[in-house]
Amino acid sequence: MRITIIGAGFSGCALALQLADTRDDAVEVCVAGVPATFGRGVAYGEARPEHLLKVRARHLGIDPDNPDDFAEWLNLSTRARDAFLPRIAYGEYLHDRILTTREQSSNLSFFEHEVIAIEREPQGFRVFLADGSDFASDCVVLALGALPPQRLAGVGPRLARHARYIGWPWHEEALDRIQPDERVLIIGTGLTMADVVTSLHKRGHRGEIVALSRHGLLPLRHLPEAPAPIRLPPSVLHALRTRDVRRLLAAVRSLACAVPDWRSVVDALRPHTQAFWQGLPAVQRARFLRHLRTYWEACRHRLAPRVAAELDLLAVSGQLQVRAGRLLRAGLREDGVDVVIRHRFRKQTSVERFDRLVRATGLDTDITRTTHPLVTHMLDAGLVRADAHGLGIMVDDGLGVLDASGFTIPGLYCLGPLLRGHLWEITAVQELRTAAGALAQRLLEGDPCADRPRLPAWPWRADADRSG
């Protein structure tokens, strides 16, 4: 069997490591990804030195059976294993692990090229690369990560093409173009905003920074010391089993008031959230996304203490303002950007001028609005079906991709943030590595392509070796 993993970020690498084998008769595994972030992904490949991980080092091993592997790779002391380290270090860890595994295995191959299209064939799939080459594969796993960010609603066409609008802050030199005294409007108040502000502060930015989101909520912070774990009481477990959102919210609020630290409650819910989400009907999911999503994410995805302290200092000094409201319109002017904002709980709008507008709204997984070439092609070809809430790709319980008619496509799978519609909690290392391990087991033991004729030996191109 031949398996192609599309995407060389965390999800793709975690799956490749689970499928790696030293036997001569092992399944062939090909990992295809963009050269610039191969083995690291966007989250860690485009990070800057000042960007910190949001999880303690001791929890970040890529192997689900060895969560302490990252800390061991760095040879950290017991105290340092609870630290929030730079994301760049984690990117190096992932890159090293995938390269080391390839050298030690006999079945891993890399193509450092973007996959732009997939077509179904009687024997499986044909995969087309950006360099013009193509090859056949029995199974394909979409491990694409988050999609490219879309243009903000309300941004005019002239501004969208101008340097005053920064649609992706981690694009090469995007933030470097912002002058120290410029007034900056950031749309989004989550983790991406925190990274942008941290980078601007690192560069000596002196101008005013305004962060705007619908609720104006900042991510809450981790404590320097991790809270002691707790066991969920019967009231919370009953609400989880009955899929009652209101009862669960009431039980969680009561529990949070009774324990030493509310963070332990959120952490204790984590193993249950995927099953809870899967049991919710569509109406309940939509209600959660509309009313509770922002509050859950502020509690669940927390800031490293050092980053939170830095934001506090900027807020106290007045340089950073966090507002609740909506961007209605943004237009380009000769000397800046005119924006129309409707602040929360106000009927009137306000017009302000900024020097730069930065999009920092976090993960984008809406496949109906994306410009991603492969996803756009697959959606047009009916090879994928969009989640009703814009959360990614629809799959079955085995992560098999559903086509436009709702039928599972044999041999086509999805892994990573595009599974948010199915699992919701699938953007952090712990859930991603667990999902990768389960999918690897299914691919190796279930052999979903068993009823197909086997493909001939891998058609390696004469001008390429196994490193791509």
Q: What does the pLDDT look like over 273-286, one tens digit per residue?
A: 999 999 999 999 99
Considering only CA atoms, which of 90, 84, 312, 317 is closest in space to residue 194?
A: 312
pLDDT at 43: 87
The span from the CA of 239 to the CA of 248, in Å, is 5
Both tokens assigned to 82: 């609870």
Q: Is the pLDDT of residue 54 over 60?
A: yes
Same domain? 94 vs 120: yes
CA distances from 239 to 171, 253, 270 (A): 44, 13, 14
Say whether both 384 and 416 belong to one domain.
yes
Torsion angle in degrees (nearest 10) through CA of 417, 143, 35, 102: 130
Looking up residue 213, the CATH number of its domain turns out to be 3.50.50.60
pLDDT grade for 245, boundaries at 50, 70 and 90: very high
Q: How many domains does the chain have?
A: 3
E strand or H helix that includes residue 124: strand 124-129
| Same domain, residue pair 43 and 91 | yes
| Domain identity same for 133 and 117 | yes
Whether residue 452 is contained in a domain is answered as no
| Same domain, yes or no: 312 and 284 | no
**Is 269 inside a domain boundary?**
yes
372 and 401 within one domain: yes
Whether 455 is in a domain gets the answer no
Task: Give this prediction's pTM.
Answer: 0.91
Q: Can you tell me the mean pLDDT for 146-157? A: 90
**Last residue of some domain: 291, 326, 359?**
359
**400 and 384 within one domain:** yes
Last residue of a domain, one of 359, 382, 401: 359
Question: Does any domain span residue 331?
Answer: yes
Domain that holds residue 70: 2-148+365-446
What pLDDT score was predicted for residue 175? Answer: 93
Kindly state whether residue 459 falls inside one of the protein's structural domains: no
Last residue of a domain, one of 284, 300, 316: 300
Q: Is residue 468 part of a domain?
A: no
Instruction: Tell me, yes or no, whether 126 and 238 share the same domain.
Output: no
Q: How far is CA 246 from CA 236, 269, 284, 438, in A?
A: 11, 15, 10, 31
- Say if residue 18 is in the same domain as residue 133: yes
Instruction: Quick: pLDDT tens for 179-210.
Output: 999 999 999 999 999 999 999 999 999 999 99
Is the alpha carbon torsion for 54, 59, 64, 68 positive or negative?
Answer: positive
Nearest residue to 149 via CA among 42, 293, 9, 298:
42
Helix (H) or strand (E) holding 295: helix 293-300
pLDDT for 466: 39
Q: 33 and 144, same structural domain?
A: yes
Do the beta carbons of residue 32 and residue 131 sit within 8 Å? no
pLDDT at 446: 65
248 and 325 share one domain? no
* CB neighbour burial string for 161-172, b if at least 16 within 10 angstroms, e if fewer: eeebbbbebbee
Q: Is the pLDDT of residue 265 over 90?
A: yes
Does residue 227 lie within any of the structural domains? no
User: Do residues 263 and 199 share a domain?
Assistant: no
For residue 185, is it within any domain? Answer: yes
What is the spatial distance between Cα 188 and Cα 176, in angstroms, rounded to a whole number?
20
* pLDDT (average), residues 376-384: 96
